Amino acid sequence: MRQYLRLLILGLIFLPAALPAKKASTSINVIPYPQSVVTGKGYFKGAGANFNCDPEIDNESVRLIREFAERIKFVTGRTNSFASPVGLVKVAEEGAMKGFVFIKDSSKGPEEYSIDITKKTCTVKASSKNGFLYALQTLRQLTDPAIFSDKIDPSQKFLFPVVSIKDKPRFAYRGMHLDCSRHFFPVEEVKKYLDIMALYKLNRLHWHLTDDQGWRVEIKAYPKLTQIGAFRNGTMIGKDFSSNDGKRYGGYYTQDQIREVVAYAESLGITIIPEIDLPGHMLGVLSAYPELGCTGGPYEVWTKWGVSEEVLCPGKEDMFIFLENMFNELLELFPSEYIHIGGDECPKTEWEKCPACQARIKALGIKGDGKHSAEQFLQSYVTARVQKFLNSKGRKIIGWDEVLEGELAPGATVMSWRGVDGGIKASAMGFDVIMTPNTYCYFDYYQSDKTEQEPLAIGGHLPIEQVYGYEPFDGLDASQQKHILGVQANLWTEYITTNEYLEYMLLPRMCALSEVQWCKSEDKNFDRFTSSMRNESFKIFDALGYNYRKY
């Protein structure tokens, strides 16, 4: 009876929230833009307001709400009372519900939320942590950017406009990629990267941890990976492939640091998907364990960019033993459902000459089919074998779209990077797809065609309006669209040497990406988006001390 009475009271008090939505207004500066927005007149004052939490809200969500309350208190110096769980029912029974009110609504999806703001009350409803998290991120953007500042301002009122918002994402997978192999970024910068992802409601970090230019994760069974494979003897200068600056370069994340970053990401609603790129892009491994290659070396961690022809040897059983032992440790660090195994840009010239590889091809009865060579099918064997092992551990694989060359076992997910064709093909074949085409989603490309005015980049031209204009369902029929898990942008770091440069290439293009990932195509509006950037997001970046490109 008490529970029934409580629900009845709350339902009566918040009845206006259930009214039909009107046509969306574009007068709020929130990115990504919510699905439904109805604006009113006036403001709710957040400074000094009470916080009331439904007793059914989980502890993690309560922690996030407390952090929001503490931030307002820190800036203004005004105390925000935080009601005990029973306090919510008590206040409701007295008919005096004011301030911030957070209510668990089990009818909403895991990433769905609603916000109803009147002059006296700000009511937030969600069913789980991520819903409350995204609602709080929206609230942060609705008020003064000072909420992100470390400066105390007793005059700050933190006004929130009267508005009704109903919101949920278009895609479940909303990713951003970070290459820490070409250039290594410290834990604190990775956390900053995660912070800005969370603000704009991205939920997957694809962490590229290994490549020809350095191995970045501690594996205790193979200590040489970080003793040798994590460091290179210099780096090419600019785009002169024959040059070397002569400066030893490298670094790696300890297992404790990995756990720290993974836990931090989880607190922000972000899952980290590690990438171990194989069987190509493996000089970081081969320099440490040369016996795993076709020739036995000697190998050296690459000091230049590009694609090395020196790759792992699938003719050697020890190579598969290494991968399984390494993955066993990696899986203890990363609880994600998916593990990215690369599969891109793997030259086959060594395999064509390698006795062990040719013996493996013969033993497996592999033959070319006129479209793909025997060596391409050998890579399919590597992919399938690693996939089977990871599946046995309860994980799924993601591979770059080259994994479609040859055969691909059911259950794999394809990441389409060479334009959209790989995603179109994979979805037609029944594979799940993450769209990350270089034509729209490669943030290592120049942001302007006036390249002399931009920092050195790998090439290409990807202005923010092109990112914003991407439509992931173009060229797909209804059956194929069901296989599109989401969208991701990639930030490769061959020429990105500092934290400041990393942020500059990320922002504000990631804001445009967030609307591609979150908003229905009909809700996107570039003029509204750029206005929100200038009126809110740029001020947030300034408050947080981020470096970004101004438009």
Query: Which residues participate in catalysis according to the annotation?
Result: 211, 281, 345
What is the residue type of 232? R
In degrees rounded to 5, what are phi and psi of residue 206?
-90, 110
Rounded to the nearest 10°, the torsion over CA 393, 396, 399, 403 is: 90
Residue 159 CB coordination number (10 Å): 14
DSSP string, 325-341: HHHHHHHHH---SEEEE
Residue 137 CB coordination number (10 Å): 22
Calpha distance 311→292 (Å, rounded): 9
- Beta carbons within 8 Å of 534's beta carbon, 6+ residues apart: 551
328: left (phi over 0), alpha (psi -120 to 50) or beta: alpha
Crossing angle of helices 374-392 and 317-333, in 10° steps, is: 40
CB 526 within 8 A of CB 473: no
Q: Which two tokens stand for residue 398?
A: 């993601």
**Looking at the chain, how many residues does it have?**
551
Q: Which two tokens stand for residue 40?
A: 């009113």
Calpha distance 307→190 (Å, rounded): 26
In whole angstroms, how far apart are CA 160 and each of 63, 122, 165? 21, 8, 13
Q: Which two tokens stand for residue 458?
A: 């790998």
CB 550 within 8 A of CB 506: no
What is the residue type of 497? T
- Beta carbons within 8 Å of 296's beta carbon, 6+ residues apart: 290
Calpha distance 407→423 (Å, rounded): 16
Calpha distance 386→278 (Å, rounded): 10
Name the nearest CA neighbour of 66 among 80, 55, 49: 80
Calpha distance 27→243 (Å, rounded): 53
Q: Which two tokens stand for residue 361?
A: 């091809």
